[in-house]
Amino acid sequence: KNQVEQSPQSLIILEGKNCTLQCNYTVSPFSNLRWYKQDTGRGPVSLTIMTFSENTKSNGRYTATLDADTKQSSLHITASQLSDSASYICVVSVTNAGKSTFGDGTTLTVKP
Amino acid sequence: DTGVSQDPRHKITKRGQNVTFRCDPISEHNRLYWYRQTLGQGPEFLTYFQNEAQLEKSRLLSDRFSAERPKGSFSTLEIQRTEQGDSAMYLCASSTNHYEQYFGPGTRLTVT
């Protein structure tokens, strides 16, 4: 069964600090892995997209890594801001299929 | 604003009533997806259209759910004889490929 597991479930950090969120998956055959940011009550917004051959992708203060051998990904947030408070969702897609498998997200709270 | 719009944003209905939601994708996007998201969970895939053809449908979708995309542009999701378990956020996304999906703001359904 295709699964995406995210950890931690929730995280509280102080403004300005860095943090790393984890995503492990069992989806096969792998096509791509995406990280989304979802503010409360809003739709998810794409942060990064990585295919099999990519092992790192940056988007401003967000850097995602992918290890396709161990089926693990991480999202590193640098110099956190209050506006980073949101749910971060890892999504993995199989090759040539419309259905994607979503993790349950990590809820990040950045405190002043 | 991703360019994907959903209407209504909120819907409160009584158990047993029918409801219909609308999604307007980004105009040049030929692929359209519907997801359901409950509190603390990631989005769950419901169905996928390529142009007007419904190509995939989740087993989660009971006979009470139906989706259409009559002219390959906007889409509707109808839930008949709503149940309290249908209370969730219903998300629509559109794309030109399976990778970069753009999500709408969602429709929050509350069944009383």
Task: Tell me whether strands A10-14 and A106-111 are parallel, antiparallel or unpaired.
Answer: parallel
Contacts of B1 (CB under 8 A, 6+ apart): none
State the Cα–Cα distance between residues A83 and A86, nearest whole angstrom.
Answer: 8
Beta-carbon separation of A97 and B98 below 8 A: yes
Is pLDDT above 70 for A98? no
Of residues A103 and B2, more confidence is placed in A103
- The pLDDT score that the predictor gives to residue A97 is 65
Beta-carbon separation of B43 and A99 below 8 A: no
Does the beta carbon of B25 lie under 8 angstroms from any beta carbon of chain A?
A: no
Encoding tokens for residue A95? 């090759």
Ranges A63-67, A68-72, B4-8, B106-110: which has the least confidence: A68-72
Q: What is the pLDDT of residues B21-78, one digit of tens each?
A: 999 999 989 999 999 999 989 999 999 999 999 998 888 777 899 999 998 899 999 9
Distance from the Cα of B24 to chain A's closest Cα (Å) equals 14
CB atoms within 10 A of CB A69: 7
Of residues A7 and A31, more confidence is placed in A7
Q: Mean per-residue pLDDT for A31-57?
A: 92
To the nearest whole number, what is the mean pLDDT of chain A? 93
Contact A40, B89 (CB under 8 A): no
- The pLDDT score that the predictor gives to residue A88 is 98
Write out the E strands in chain B.
5-7, 10-13, 19-24, 31-37, 44-50, 53-57, 65-68, 75-79, 88-95, 102-103, 107-111
- The pLDDT score that the predictor gives to residue B50 is 92
State the Cα–Cα distance between residues B16 and B30, nearest whole angstrom.
Answer: 33
Encoding tokens for residue A51? 């295919």
Q: What is the pLDDT of residues B40-51, one digit of tens each?
A: 899 999 999 999
State the Cα–Cα distance between residues B30 and B71, nearest whole angstrom.
Answer: 11
* Long-range interactions of B66-70: CB distance < 8 A, separation 24+: B67/B34, B69/B32
What one-character DSSP code corresponds to residue B28?
T
Beta-carbon separation of B98 and A100 below 8 A: yes
